[in-house]
Chain A
Amino acid sequence: MPEYFIPILIAVGVITAIGLACAVILVVASKFFAVKVDEKYAALRDCLPGVNCGACGYAGCDSYAAALAENSSIATNLCIPGGAIVAAQLAEIMGVDVTTTSKKTASVHCNGTCDNTDIKANYQGIHTCRAAMLTYGGNGLCNYGCLGYGDCAEVCPVDAISLVNGVAVVDIDTCIGCGICTKTCPKGIISMIDTDKRVSIKCSNKEKGAVSRKECKVACIGCKKCEATCPTDAISVVDNLAVIDYDKCIYCGKCAHVCPMNTIHSEK
């Protein structure tokens, strides 16, 4: 063996020996000083999806499980991504009655695709909605609609949002209902609605009909046809924009049928 090789071997040997010693000490210590974790906590934590989205109101899945394990009066149905299945599992571990939640998914209230609306100016700034919002509310002809730079798609933890022809579109099957996008959208045009009750108004324009019609081919013009058609008075036009009261809505889809601008979408 060449002589210059020996110091290298010594160096490698010393580092390996000390690293090994540290590892052995840590392994022994972890057995020796093992602390029992609350079984309930571990079981609860295993049920939770681990997305750490914060929709339950706690800092993450860990802290929700810890809070549940300590305090049985906390609701077991706070996990929205987990939905009814996780709520049932949590309730079983906690030994309380199952209170299910309806699964919610995000809906973008705009259908202003590149074919339906136009731009009012060329925007060459930073490609985020928040930056575009700072310059006269974005470059779209409609001042209420989707900006199309995908801030919502960026924050979505499961990549359920994609940009199709300039408008954010939510994939209902992928969406876990955490609601992060609703807080991110600078226009505030994303809301959470029940997954099995999907009738939504794909417009947020509050201008009068004559104006909004010029701005977008599929804008709500406030004609009140839906209001007149709705059998349960669940839909009403407020500020030239139709709004659905989901507590009254029976999801018949008649409003979507009569809407002259094709603004209301029934996704049943």
Chain B
Amino acid sequence: MDFKTFVFILMTSVLVNNYVLTQFLGICPFLGVSKKLNQATGMGVAVIFVMVLATAATWPIQNLILVPLKLDYLQTILFILVIASLVQLVEMILKKFLPSLHASLGVYLPLITTNCAVLAVCKNSLTNESVASSAAPFVTALVYAFACGLGFLLAMVLFAGVRSVIEHSKPPRCFEGVPITLIAASIVALAFSGFGGIAENLFK
């Protein structure tokens, strides 16, 4: 994989096809954990970690077991199973060997277990164009998962900043709390739609 593909994947998945703000996946943690910057960062890092690991586990399963046996239709159910057990395993290992990291990731790890963004990354990494056309598809898939996680982290951090401003503002009473947060999220998403087409045209 050359440098150009690397940057292209990074640009497309972080900015253009951002999982949260453009594809609207993983909205639950995006709204739930974005109240404070350090929590948002913790969640983002945990998601990157899990996305890369999950792709590393599901990619071989798809290509070595499901495709030869013509069982592609079992993808979703198997991926959920594998991701959920993987997250549990990671949590146990972290608890044992890196208790400080486990404490800082805390509740976010189990939260990610059923995060649809992780499942989507695993599924999309199989069909992504740059992954499919790459000479080393497995490594490219991992890079793709990492980039998607990075996009999630970016969205979390940006929105945590937006929310800290909302916290001190005084919206009309009927908009207080969740409504104004949802409106703010939609505006941030709208801003991200402006990135559409950038990567394709940069690397033409």
Q: Which residues of A contact B (CB under 8 A)?
A: 7, 10-11, 14-15, 18-19, 22-23, 25-26, 29-30, 33-35
Smallest beta-carbon distance B95→chain A, Å: 5
Is A26 a contact partner of B82 (Cβ separation < 8 A)?
A: no
Residues of B within 8 A of A30 (CB): 92
Contacts known (A33-B93, A33-B96, A35-B96); A15 close to B77, Cβ less than 8 A: yes
Q: Which residues of B contact A (CB under 8 A)?
A: 61, 65-66, 69-71, 74, 77-78, 81-82, 85, 88-89, 92-93, 95-97, 99
Question: In the complex, what distance in Å separates the CA atom of A53 from the CA atom of B61?
Answer: 45
Smallest beta-carbon distance B196→chain A, Å: 38
Residues of A within 8 A of B61 (CB): 18
Is B93 a contact partner of A14 (Cβ separation < 8 A)?
A: no
Smallest beta-carbon distance A35→chain B, Å: 5
Q: Which of A14, A26, A34 contacts B74 (CB 8 A)?
A: A14
Is B71 a contact partner of A18 (Cβ separation < 8 A)?
A: no
Is A25 a contact partner of B89 (Cβ separation < 8 A)?
A: yes
The number of residue pairs between A and B whose CB atoms lie closer than 8 Å in the complex comes to 44
Is B85 a contact partner of A22 (Cβ separation < 8 A)?
A: yes
Smallest beta-carbon distance A109→chain B, Å: 31
Is B78 a contact partner of A15 (Cβ separation < 8 A)?
A: yes
Smallest beta-carbon distance B139→chain A, Å: 24
A sample of 14 cross-chain residue pairs with beta-carbon separation below 8 angstroms, ordered by A number, consists of: A7-B70, A10-B69, A10-B71, A14-B69, A14-B71, A14-B74, A15-B77, A18-B78, A25-B89, A29-B89, A29-B92, A29-B93, A30-B92, A35-B95
Question: In the complex, what distance in Å separates the CA atom of A40 from the CA atom of B163?
Answer: 40
Is A14 a contact partner of B85 (Cβ separation < 8 A)?
A: no
CB-CB nearest in chain A for B65:
A14
Smallest beta-carbon distance B16→chain A, Å: 34
Is A11 a contact partner of B93 (Cβ separation < 8 A)?
A: no
Is A33 a contact partner of B81 (Cβ separation < 8 A)?
A: no
Chain A interface, DSSP helix/strand/loop, else mixed? helix
CB-CB nearest in chain B for A21:
B85
Is A25 a contact partner of B85 (Cβ separation < 8 A)?
A: yes
Question: In the complex, what distance in Å separates the CA atom of A18 from the CA atom of B196?
Answer: 39
Is A33 a contact partner of B92 (Cβ separation < 8 A)?
A: yes
Residues of B within 8 A of A11 (CB): 71, 74
Contacts known (A11-B71, A14-B65, A33-B96); A26 close to B78, Cβ less than 8 A: no
Residues of A within 8 A of B81 (CB): 15, 18-19, 22
Is B65 a contact partner of A26 (Cβ separation < 8 A)?
A: no
Smallest beta-carbon distance B119→chain A, Å: 16
Q: Which of B66, B70, B88, B95 contacts A26 (CB 8 A)?
A: B88
Smallest beta-carbon distance A255→chain B, Å: 44
Question: In the complex, what distance in Å separates the CA atom of A15 from the CA atom of B77?
Answer: 9
Contacts known (A22-B85, A26-B89); A15 close to B96, Cβ less than 8 A: no
Question: In the complex, what distance in Å separates the CA atom of A23 from the CA atom of B84?
Answer: 11
Smallest beta-carbon distance A10→chain B, Å: 6
Question: In the complex, what distance in Å separates the CA atom of A14 from the CA atom of B85?
Answer: 16
Residues of B within 8 A of A15 (CB): 74, 77-78, 81
Residues of A within 8 A of B88 (CB): 26
CB-CB nearest in chain B for A17:
B65
Question: In the complex, what distance in Å separates the CA atom of A14 from the CA atom of B97?
Answer: 32
Question: In the complex, what distance in Å separates the CA atom of A22 from the CA atom of B89?
Answer: 9
Residues of B within 8 A of A33 (CB): 92-93, 95-97
Question: In the complex, what distance in Å separates the CA atom of A22 from the CA atom of B85?
Answer: 6
10 cross-chain pairs, A with B, having the tightest CB-CB distances, nearest first:
A22-B85, A33-B96, A33-B92, A29-B92, A35-B95, A29-B89, A26-B85, A11-B71, A35-B96, A19-B81
Residues of A within 8 A of B70 (CB): 7
Residues of B within 8 A of A18 (CB): 61, 65, 78, 81-82
Is B96 a contact partner of A22 (Cβ separation < 8 A)?
A: no
Question: In the complex, what distance in Å separates the CA atom of A11 from the CA atom of B71?
Answer: 7
Residues of B within 8 A of A10 (CB): 69, 71
Smallest beta-carbon distance A181→chain B, Å: 24
